[in-house]
Amino acid sequence: MNIQQRTLWIKQKAAALGFVSAGISKAEFMEPEARNLEAWLNQNFQGKMSYLENHFDKRVDPTKLVPGAKSVISLAYNYYPEKIQKDPKAPKIARYAYGEDYHFVLKHRLKTFLLDIQSTIGAVEGRCFVDSAPVLERDWAKRSGIGWIGKNTLLIHPKKGSYFFLAELIIDLELIPDEPMKDFCGTCTKCIDACPTDAIDESGFVLDGSKCISYLTIELKEAIPDEFKGKMENWAFGCDICQEVCPWNRFSRTHQEPAFEPKDGFLEMKEEDWQEITEEVFQRIFKKSAVKRTKYEGLKRNLNFLEK
């Protein structure tokens, strides 16, 4: 296959594997993104997520992660659920965590993808990434043209919204890169106005991670600061507020991934069920779920904080 045929085949294969978008970037040093990341870290917007300070050189240069890398394939995988939690008073769980942990679901697909590339195209070396390595996923996705980074700092597609996971294949195969997409946020400030903890900069496009409800309920391992009492809007794990208010998510469509279906009984849990949740119920409802990241003790901490 020539370079055009390889590029087309890879995009078709991505679609066959269930990815809703696939775009390609040239693997190179990310100069403007490196400056932006440095400025973000200097303002301590990472909070207690000290791991974001590590491997700076690898975050901004994929050739240091994959020697000889020539292309970054950015992929999007839909997780928008058909139904949400029934009790409006129940503590809320972010939609991405309704089913099985996406890290494992997508890693399996990516490994299949890489093996298919190798068996069809030839001796191609590379690595798979799903939100678990020093890769600037949204920046690569933006470069590849599968969306723009919105004022809420999430990747948005004008026909698919933002309820999707991002993943990458970084490979030593030359492909035709795509062009970035235009920013369609315009003058809209719905996400900025809706964020109850003021985590999004008043001009948008910058997130103070240390104020984000997702950070407070998942990444932060110590006590949630009292300054956030009464501001969590009943989110016990993660937060979807800036996605819920985004006009582009009116185009979101239900995912087709069986692994992302919630466990029986989860959506029906009432407010009192959450207040009385035992570790046994936690282990059953959230088996293989991303919610396991916070552990039972962490979820109880969040629930208790909401009750105060």
Is 240 labeled as catalytic in the residue annotation?
no
The one catalytic residue in 61, 116, 131, 183 is: 131
- In whole angstroms, what is the distance from residue 37 CA to residue 258 CA? 36
- In whole angstroms, what is the distance from residue 71 CA to residue 136 CA? 14
Give 153's contacts (C-beta < 8 A, 6+ positions apart).
Answer: 138, 200, 205, 206, 207
Q: H/E/C letters for each residue in 27-56?
A: CCCCHHHHHHHHHHHHCCCCCCCHHHHCCH
- Residues marked active site are found at 131
